[in-house]
Structure 1
Amino acid sequence: MRFDHTTLPNGLTVLAESNPAAATAALGFFVKTGSRDESPEASGVSHFLEHMMFKGTGRRTTAQVNRQFDEIGADYNAATTEETTVYYASVLSEHLPKLIDLMADIMQPALREEDFSTEKSVILEEIALYEDQPRFRVYDTLMSLYFGSHPLGNVILGTPRTIAAMTTGQMMEYFRRRYSPSNIVLAAAGKVDFAWLSESAHRLCGHWSGQQTAPRVAQVPAGASGRQILHDARLAREHVGFMSPAPSAQDDDRFAAQVLSAIVGDDTGSMLYYDLVETAMVDEISLGHAAMDGAGVFMTFLSADPRKAKAAVEATGNTIRRFMHDGPTDSQLTAARNKIATGITLKGELPMGRLADIAGDWVYRNDYMPLEDQIARLLAVDCDDVRQVAARYDPASAAMLALGPLENL
């Protein structure tokens, strides 16, 4: 493996982890913008713009974009989060020249009014679809409850009102402001020659311009606590979410937080799994760690029969408090570290898996961490590290939101 990076004169970062033994290559544009960076009146513009990037350019129609991805056998997609918007694809390495030409082109979208109007209807249908999925409703509402007026509480999809009222002018202004080359990372992994990648980036992206991207709101307030019950008689199950502070993406404690999450709340083989799923108290339960820019949260989700929901909430708190009192055992620590290390290694065997990691490291920390170093940092976590993270962040003191047929919990 070899890592290289450079910055073009216009500010675009180009980086690659090259593996000559690979048969495929993965390529992605990682834009450091998401719902966290939106104004209230433009809520949902990041995700809406992600859709519009595939709707044609000055050189290609929508049909040509889709057909050319298919012609080279690309496995491609895009995703929007609170903090990033990512466009990515993997191909056989011989198709990289066509792939980078296509992907660089869609990063300069036409934003045609007729496409905008059609896609607006698609987004509104997507919002309605997610409204029918309790897990997403709990997540969105809990984020808003926990982060309050901070932009991390913004809903990624936006609302029917903001999407219906959105104009191409708003989207173009957002694109110029947030899609500046200095706010984008072009990353590649697998069988890729960095000299070729750098030359291609100069040729295809070197002319890009844009406004200087303003610094993100760095100050993240302490998350809210308390409980909120959302009554929905249409639902057959009670869906409950908990949220509490956790290490950020820049915090070295993120490794210990991963281990803590696996011990307490992995969806199989964890304390919560044995205490609540194996005893038929809940259908499912998990506790995970989400590391963000300057912030982080532990998130717990469960689904239960309404008749068992109150007992499930109490049992969840009891399990977390027992862990905080007793700490992890050596066997729990070993099992959790090995489970995470296995997952990281399996993911890292594919260029697409490494693409996400190397780009994420650069977006959040301006750093490169080889796979073996990532695993070594994880395996170095000991019981004291996990205890200290639990004591520092206290996952037992969490905000709670319940959605379902119960009016009280």
Structure 2
Amino acid sequence: MSRAQRSSFPAARRGVGQSGAVRHATGTQPGRAGSGRAVTRTLSDDPLGGTVRRTVLPSGLRVLTEAIPAMRSVSFGIWVAVGSRDETGPQAGAAHFLEHLLFKGTHKRGALEISSAIEAVGGETNAFTTKEYTCYYARVLDEDLPLAIDVMCDLVADSVLEAADVETERGVILEEIAMHDDEPGDEVHDLFARAVYGDHPLGRLISGTEETVTPMTRRQIHSFYRRRYTAPQIVIAAAGNLDHATVVKLVRQALRGTPLDTDPATPAPHRPATPAVRTRPAATLVEPKESEQAHVILGCPGIDRLDERRFALGVLNNVLGGGMSSRLFQEIREQRGLAYSVYSYASQYADSGLFAVYAGCAPGKVDEVLALTRAELARVAAEGISEAELARGKGMSKGSFVLGLEDTGSRMSRLAKGELLYGDLMPVDELLTRVDAVTLADVNALAAELLSRPMSLAVVGPFGEHDFSA
């Protein structure tokens, strides 16, 4: 399994929104989950992609596919609307722990059978956990899709969670946490989330800590599994050379008789109930660590993923620190040689977001790097960006999005995130139109508001007593 993820996709790569999807009934009348029948709709016939269809099963589980006949592979994913923000304090790390355990065996297959079944046909399988969802996926040749569906549905729906496996994976996860602590470039991002969100679940480590993972019992994990992994919370997505009706049929067969094959008591919420994010004072957190390089992140609360300004934010992010031609890269690396890596990024959640600048530099250069970063953010907040920068930022947003759809895995992810996180799928052409519609006034208004907010700071490096407030 992959390491726990921070879920920091750039805003410009999120090709989805609240409206604009093309919806046409195909063979059925509109219905709802739990009505005893599946409801299928065509969401789009995209000129830059294939035909996208969506079926809601009677259980409330949703299946989306994009048929791309020119491909010889298929990416298949099971996405669950459960992440680390859905845990209580004592449960911290449960979602990630569970991600590991589901690969350890079901009533039909052992751990070796799960991995060897996919590898025997040249496929690959993995999983990752974020703050708001968990994903299990496989990529196989088109002819091996039935096998991938059967294996992946089996492990997500019918894992046994043996007590011995819990102990084995506990050791693996504790090693993963220790490894993370040895990588300050990763650690600083988690430290920054804590600086902004404090004790809120969005501020906690996705993997949990040694203090929460060590005492976690098999019973606690199993309870989390059965309460959270329900059909209305799950989206299955597939992209590649496939037939939608066949995928739906295979999914229903694979889930027959499992806990995911029952009618829901209530429809799926757009987002499971979790504590609301509250504004807190800006904070500075420093993690002393003997290292050759210092890692710093300066930033503030951003906007949530449904905010209509997300397209303007994508442009602003590109101009400030989205590439080698960005203001921060040119100022800090190209002109002054103060850092090897410097960039800005935006993370967006259901009800909150982050905007931040990262830099890795020699410890003795931290003060200068921070001063230049603060000055550039203040300059853009006060003066805005130019027309030339607007055009370049929009071009970067459109290009990165379209180029990011060149493989079945990214297309599968787009389907799932559109459904799971936004409740809709924005056609590619409409997304490009929305980016084109961003005006200089839009970006400058957002910059004036966003970049004037109090800034939090996270620092990992060889520092004891040091004043970072200047």
Query: Which category describes the TM-score, using the shorter chain as reference length?
Result: over 0.9
The whole-number CA distance in structure 2 between the counterparts of 1:170 and 1:224 is: 34
Amino acid across the alignment from 1:312: V
Amino acid across the alignment from 1:145: A
The residue that corresponds to 1:277 in the other structure is: 333
The whole-number CA distance in structure 2 between the counterparts of 1:21 and 1:103 is: 24
The whole-number CA distance in structure 2 between the counterparts of 1:36 and 1:126 is: 20
Cα distance, 1:394 vs structure 2: 2.5
Alignment of 1:146-225 (within 5 A): 146-209=196-259, 215-217=272-274, 219-225=276-282
Identity %: 31
Higher mean displacement: 241-250 or 32-41: 241-250
Higher mean displacement: 371-380 or 72-81: 371-380
The whole-number CA distance in structure 2 between the counterparts of 1:90 and 1:379 is: 34
Q: Which has the higher contact order (CA 8 A, sep 6+)?
A: 2
Cα distance, 1:396 vs structure 2: 5.7
Amino acid across the alignment from 2:220: Q
**Cα distance 1:296–1:118, how it changes in 2: closer, same or farther (>3 A)?**
same
Runs of at least 4 residues off by over 6 Å: 210-214
Cα distance, 1:98 vs structure 2: 0.8
Aligned partners of 1:77 and 1:88 also within 8 Å = yes
2:172 to 119, 122, 144: 122
The whole-number CA distance in structure 2 between the counterparts of 1:71 and 1:262 is: 42
The residue that corresponds to 1:3 in the other structure is: 52
> Which segments of 5 or more consecutive residues in structure 1 lack a partner in the other structure?
none
Cα distance, 1:299 vs structure 2: 2.1
The residue that corresponds to 1:80 in the other structure is: 129
2:379 to 311, 319, 322: 322
TM-score (norm 2): 0.83
The whole-number CA distance in structure 2 between the counterparts of 1:284 and 1:348 is: 26
Aligned partners of 2:301 and 2:353 also within 8 Å = yes
1:262 to 318, 341, 357: 318
The residue that corresponds to 1:302 in the other structure is: 359
The whole-number CA distance in structure 2 between the counterparts of 1:102 and 1:223 is: 45
The residue that corresponds to 2:145 in the other structure is: 96
1:156-203 Cα shifts (integer Å, max 9, x gaps): 011112111111101000001111111110111122211111112222
Aligned partners of 2:104 and 2:111 also within 8 Å = yes
Aligned partners of 1:25 and 1:351 also within 8 Å = yes
> Which segments of 5 or more consecutive residues in structure 2 lack a partner in the other structure?
1-49
Aligned partners of 1:4 and 1:15 also within 8 Å = yes
The whole-number CA distance in structure 2 between the counterparts of 1:405 and 1:23 is: 51
Amino acid across the alignment from 1:230: E
**Cα distance 1:201–1:66, how it changes in 2: closer, same or farther (>3 A)?**
same
CA RMSD of aligned residues (A): 1.7
Amino acid across the alignment from 2:384: G
Aligned partners of 2:196 and 2:301 also within 8 Å = no
Higher mean displacement: 18-27 or 163-172: 18-27
TM-score (norm 1): 0.95
Matched, 1:355 2:404: no
The residue that corresponds to 1:47 in the other structure is: 96
Cα distance, 1:369 vs structure 2: 1.6
Aligned partners of 2:384 and 2:448 also within 8 Å = no
Aligned partners of 1:240 and 1:403 also within 8 Å = yes
The whole-number CA distance in structure 1 between the counterparts of 2:205 and 2:177 is: 10
Cα distance, 1:17 vs structure 2: 1.8
Higher mean displacement: 278-287 or 313-322: 278-287
The whole-number CA distance in structure 1 between the counterparts of 2:205 and 2:452 is: 24
